[in-house]
Amino acid sequence: MKNYEGVCRFCGQVQTVQASSQEEANEIATLSCNCDEAEAYRRREELMTLIDNTCQDLPEDCGFVNMSIGQIKALRDLGSMVADGFIMKATIDIADSRCMINRKKDGSFTFRRNKVLCLGGDI
């Protein structure tokens, strides 16, 4: 690690940061910048991380199955559409779950994964 001049990709604000490369320094500077665009980017990245952490590499005793790469990609695509403002809320039944992604009035996001359990049948 060494010192780099990281540049916010949105507003161009420069910060001295410790990083392994200029590219990493720019990402660190962007994630720590206070401009509106960087804040929206940070929230989007946090939403994607929340989706990943809630859908894969789960312990066996948590009650949820790990989702496939394709299922996670579908959720991330929906998350991107919510984050970009194309849709305000998305709900999808996927794997053993009902997942909901919502954009709140303050610009933050909610992601919920609920267990879907159904008993019964058709006659």
- Give the per-residue pLDDT at 37: 95
Same domain, 71 and 111: yes
Its domain, for residue 108, covers 40-115
Same domain, 44 and 64: yes
Supply the angle between the helices 36-55 and 22-32 in degrees, to the nearest 10.
Answer: 100
Q: What is the pTM of this model?
A: 0.84
Same domain, 60 and 100: yes
Same domain, 97 and 47: yes
| Domain total in the chain | 2
- Give the per-residue pLDDT at 116: 72
Write out the chain's pLDDT in tens, 123 residues: 999 999 999 999 999 999 999 999 999 999 999 999 999 999 999 999 999 999 999 988 888 999 999 999 999 999 999 999 999 999 999 988 999 999 999 889 999 999 876 667 777
At 79, list the tokens. 């998350």
CA 70 to chain centre: 16
